[in-house]
Structure 1
Amino acid sequence: MRFPSEIVVDRFLPTARAMLARELSDRGLTQQEIADHLGVTQAAVSKYVGGDVTLETRFSEEPRLRSAVERIATGFAEGSMDAYEALGELLGVIRAFEDRGPICEIHEEQVPALAGLGCDLCVRGYDESVADERAVLSAVRKATRLLADESAMAEYVPNVGTNVGMALPHPGDELDVAAVPGRVHAMRGRIDVPANPEFGGSQHVARTILAANSVDSSVRAGLNLTTDDGLLAAARDRGIDPLAFDAGYDDRRERLESAFRERGAVPPVIYHEGAFGIEPITYVFGTDAVEATRFAIELASDAGDGS
């Protein structure tokens, strides 16, 4: 566990001080004068000016910090800015960097549990809704690992790729559904997961999940596979009547909602046979991403056994 403030102390502050020390040195201030402005020793300034301090490039190359450093250096050199105003300048930069900026980026690297959350913990403080986001992302990550571990599933991955999606409770749109950006693809008999899941990482799978959830709120997850007679037969052997629907994308969410309501329930398996330029696709639903994926793997196993 690591706090964003540690990143500020360990990486931002040395970078900002070194940049400022070099700017002040270029403006003719002595190392002792620079030390007085920065609140550090003359020996520390010597290291800053001499290049002995490694800059964090994600900070030093940011225009906002570069601009703030130039303003502060000019103000100190001309006597038109004091330490209070300089702190205000740098605190503004820190707040910006914590709001989906480079501090946030480094924080996610050092605390993997934050990855993919679009975390704004530093900005809004602790929010219980973040727990829902974490749970959804964790479920999708686990589901994609299950897929990747089942090499037999590669033959059921469509040419367009597979995606596993899961919605937050009471979702509104695709941004409330987590999925894998770029989709999951089959490569040389194995499944490749190109990235960690993110909210808004899918459109078609997300819209299909949203259609199901609008009729049955317990259905919050699903994945797409290629339409295969063996998979559909395996579903029927389990007493499931897969729902066939039109392949067209226009108004698909609305058409699916209508079909589910007409059926009186959301079936665990729905499919279409494709159309011009549209590959045949089957969707498998579940209450969460892991359940949906495990069910899909079971269907594939049944289909492979011919049972």
Structure 2
Amino acid sequence: MKFRAEIVVEEVLPTIRVLLATELRERGLTQQAVAAKLGLSQSAVSKYAQGQVETRDTVAQDERVQALVSELATGLATGDMRPVHALVEIEALLRRLSGPGDIVADLHEAAVPELQDLSYDFSEPGPDQAAIERERARSSVRRGLRVLSQTPGVATLVPHVGSNLVECLPGAASREDVIGIPGRIRDVGGRVDVPADPDFGVSEYVGGVLISAREAGSSARAGLNLAYSDATLAALEDAGHQSVELDIGAADLESAVTTAIDAHPEATVLYHQGAVGIEPIVYLLGPAADGLARTVRRVATELTES
């Protein structure tokens, strides 16, 4: 009698770990750093690197495995992804590989031929999808922050009230489903300052704008606020974004967003030119936080060079 879990532990996980450890080493991480990222001993990492651990070609050559290993290695190496995110993504992959006729199922049937006469499916239930989505959103915001922090000129686009880069979960219903930056992003001496790690439920204004836009029909999953200027607005419009002005004089911000998106559901740039005690702001909406950051990088570069 051999259980599915034994197949995974003995034949599948070692292969994934070898691939991931190798990719991390190729990205310049030390053996000690790789061990810390993967929760392994340095001696285990050494064995992986030296080819002392047997691997399965059927696992190593699978396109899904290769794609995930590459994604995880990039995220772990840059710090955009937490180790726990890698864990839940691998758990999800293992479930997919356990479906009928897939890699783990075939290995299990080879070890226990009697299973071939049975109808079974070990691929469900999978790991909590909500946990996976939360970590994916966190990684997206982290990638976006790295882009913003490394791009000259971005600090000049940060309003006096600060910026926030946010992303929400699929089906988000409130600000608690939105991850952003506690304390907001600030311009400190001409550089972008990020005061804390991203967390959920911390963005009142940009998170509220995103939720209001989605409730009104926008498909956006991410948002970012910038200081308003004619040049910034023009650069975003030139990049293909549809803009609409918010009437903040007639309603509160979230109601103004709802009205604007009701009338222009495809709009991805919402802006207002301020009022007494209210700073002019541009809100940029899009599918993902890291994508918004890349858009801002292009705008900042264009404005700096003009």
Q: Do these two structures clear the TM 0.5 threshold for a shared fold by scoring above it?
A: yes
> Does residue 253 in structure 1 map to residue 254 in structure 2?
yes
Write the distance in 1 (CA, Å) between the matches of 2:155 and 2:178: 24
Partners of 1:126 and 1:267 lie apart in 2 by: 35
Identity of aligned residues (%): 35
| Secondary structure class of the residue paired with 1:290 | helix
Q: CA deviation at 1:291?
A: 0.9
**Per-residue deviation, residues 168-187 of structure 1 (Å, max 9, x unmatched):** 00111100000000001111
Indicate how the Cα distance of structure 1 residues 292 and 262 shifts in structure 2: closer, same or farther if over 3 A, else same. same
Are 1:282 and 2:282 matched, yes or no? yes
Aligned-partner Cα distance in 2 for 1:224–1:185: 12
Alignment partner of 1:168 is 2:169: yes
Pairing 1:238-249 to 2, within 5 Å after superposition: 238-247=239-248
1:30-179 residue pairs with structure 2 within 5 A? 112-114=82-84, 127-179=128-180
Pick the structure with greater CA Rg. 1
| Alignment partner, residue 295 of structure 1 | 295
TM-score w.r.t. the length of structure 1 is 0.56
Contact 1:205–1:224 (Cα < 8 Å) also in 2: yes
Going from structure 1 to structure 2, the CA distance change for 1:184 and 1:239 (only over 3 Å counts) comes to closer
Distance across 1 between alignment mates of 2:241 and 2:196: 33
- Paired AA for residue 287 in structure 2: T
Partner of 1:223: 224
Q: CA deviation at 1:253?
A: 2.0
Q: How many residues align?
A: 186
The equivalent of 1:198 in structure 2 is 199
Structure 1 outlier segments of 4+, above 4 Å: none
Distance of 2:197 and 2:205 partners within structure 1:
18
- Matched-pair contact (CA < 8 Å) for 1:166–1:289: yes
RMSD: 2.3
Contact 2:218 2:261 in 1 (8 A): no
The AA in structure 2 aligned to 1:232 is L
CA distance 1:168–1:217, change in 2 (3 Å): farther
Distance in 2, Cα, partners of 1:176 & 1:261: 22
Q: Secondary structure at the match of 1:236?
A: helix
Distance 2:244 2:256 in 1: 12
* Partner-residue secondary structure (3-state), 2:153: helix
Contact 2:243/2:268, CA 8 A, preserved across alignment: yes
Distance 2:172 2:254 in 1: 14
**Contact residue 147 and residue 191 of structure 1 kept, 8 A:** yes
- Find the aligned partners of 1:168 and 1:113 in 2 and give their Cα distance: 20
Task: Indicate conservation of the 8 Å contact 2:217/2:262, yes or no.
Answer: no
**CA contact 2:248–2:256 (8 Å) conserved in 1:** no
* AA in 2 matched with 1:254: S
Cα distance, 1:260 vs structure 2: 1.1
Contact 2:209–2:254 (8 Å) recurs in 1: yes
Do the aligned partners of residues 206 and 141 (structure 1) sit closer, same or farther apart at CA in structure 2, a change above 3 Å counting? same
Structure 1: how far apart are the matches of 2:235 and 2:82? 38
1:267 alignment partner in structure 2? 267
**Deviation string for 1:226-267 (max 9, x for gaps)?**
00111111123234442111346954223312211212x232
Contact 1:215 1:266 (8 Å CA) reproduced: no
Maintained 8 Å contact 2:217/2:261:
no
1:147 partner amino acid:
L
SS at match of 1:224: strand
Q: 5+ unaligned residues in a row in structure 1: which ranges?
A: 1-110, 116-124
CA distance in 2, matches of 1:207, 1:249: 18
Residue type of the alignment partner of 1:213: R
Structure 2 unaligned residues grouped into runs of 5+: 1-80, 86-125
**Is this contact kept in 2: 1:162–1:223, CA < 8 A?**
yes
